Amino acid sequence: MQLFIGNINGQFGELEAEETQHFSRVLRGKLGQEIYLTDGKGTLAKGVVTEIHNKSIQLELSEIQENFEQRPYFLHIAIAPTKNIDRIEYFLEKATEIGIDEITFLKSFHSERKNINLERCQKIVNAAVKQSLKAYVPKLNDLTKFTDFVAQDFSETKLIAHCEEDFERKNFKEILQPNENYLILIGPEGDFSLDEIKLAEENGFQGISLGHQRFRTETAALNAVFGLDWAN
C-alpha cells in the first residue's frame, strides 16, 4: 500500500509538487497506477493516476473512507525543543506513528534551542504519516514563548509535567480518562522554572508526574503519548 498526502475533492484527488516529484522521479510511477491518498484530515481513498504533470498528479478516486481509524481522544503536546535536533525529530516521528493531533514548540526559560526549522519538521511528520498508513496529519505550531502560550484559551484538560516536588503533582497514568482531550506541557532538560510552573498553575494547568525516573525531554513526551494511547 503506497500512501500519499494530497487534496481530495469528491471523486477526484491531486498530488501537489513535492509528492508529485516523489511519485514520478523516485518511484517511477506511471499512468493507470493504483495508489492510496489521504488529505491529512481523516479521509483515506484508493485512486488511479489519470494525469501526470510537472507539478501535480490527478487521480480518480474510489473506496473513499472518512474518519479512517479516528481515535476517540485529542492530544496536544507543547514541548521545548532539545539542543540536539535529532532527538526532537525522533519524537516527531514516533509520536506521529503512535498517534498525536497537535504539537507546539515552546520557548521556555531553560530552553537550549531558540529556533526550529518548521518546514523540515513537517516533512518528518508527513513521512511518518505515510510510513504508518495514517489519515490524520498532526498540526505543527512554530516556537512560542511559554508565557504567551499558557495564557491562551484551550478546551482540553491542561497538564504540565515537571519534577519540582515543592508543587503538587499527580501521577499521570492514575488521572487519565478514556475519550478525553489533553494538552500536556513538556519542559527542556533543565525542566520548567519555578516561575513557569507557578504561572501555568495560575492559568489552569495541573501538575503531573510521569514516573519516578528522570526522563529526557523526548522520552517524557513519548511517555505521555504512550500513556494516553494505552488509556484508550
30, part of any domain: yes
Of the residues 31, 47, 65, the one at which a domain ends: 65
Q: What is the pLDDT of residue 232?
A: 86
Q: What is the pLDDT of residue 212?
A: 80
Q: What is the pLDDT of residue 157?
A: 97
- Please check whether residues 21 and 134 belong to one and the same domain: no
70, part of any domain: no
- Please check whether residues 56 and 124 belong to one and the same domain: no
- Please check whether residues 35 and 107 belong to one and the same domain: no
- Please check whether residues 33 and 88 belong to one and the same domain: no
- Please check whether residues 29 and 108 belong to one and the same domain: no
Residues 66 and 40: beta-carbon distance below 8 Å: no
- Please check whether residues 48 and 100 belong to one and the same domain: no
Residues 72 and 54: beta-carbon distance below 8 Å: no
215, part of any domain: yes
Q: Report, as ranges of residue numbers, the positions in the chain whose pLDDT lies below 70.
A: none
Distance from C-alpha of 151 to C-alpha of 88, rounded to nearest angstrom? 24
pLDDT digits (tens, 9 = 90+) for 94-125: 999 999 999 999 999 999 898 999 999 999 99
Please give the residue range of the domain that contains residue 176.
75-231
How many helices (H) does the chain have, and how many strands (E)?
7, 13
Supply 6's cell numbers.
Answer: 494530497
Q: How many domains does the chain have?
A: 2
Q: What is the pLDDT of residue 194?
A: 97
Query: Residue 160 forms beta bridges with which residues?
Result: 185, 207
- Alpha-helix residue ranges (DSSP H) falling in the chain: 17-21, 85-98, 118-131, 146-150, 172-175, 194-202, 217-231
Of the residues 36, 65, 94, the one at which a domain ends: 65
Distance from C-alpha of 96 to C-alpha of 92, rounded to nearest angstrom? 6
User: Rounded to two decimals, what is the model's pTM?
Assistant: 0.94
- Please check whether residues 121 and 168 belong to one and the same domain: yes
Supply 221's cell numbers.
Answer: 513526551
- Please check whether residues 28 and 118 belong to one and the same domain: no
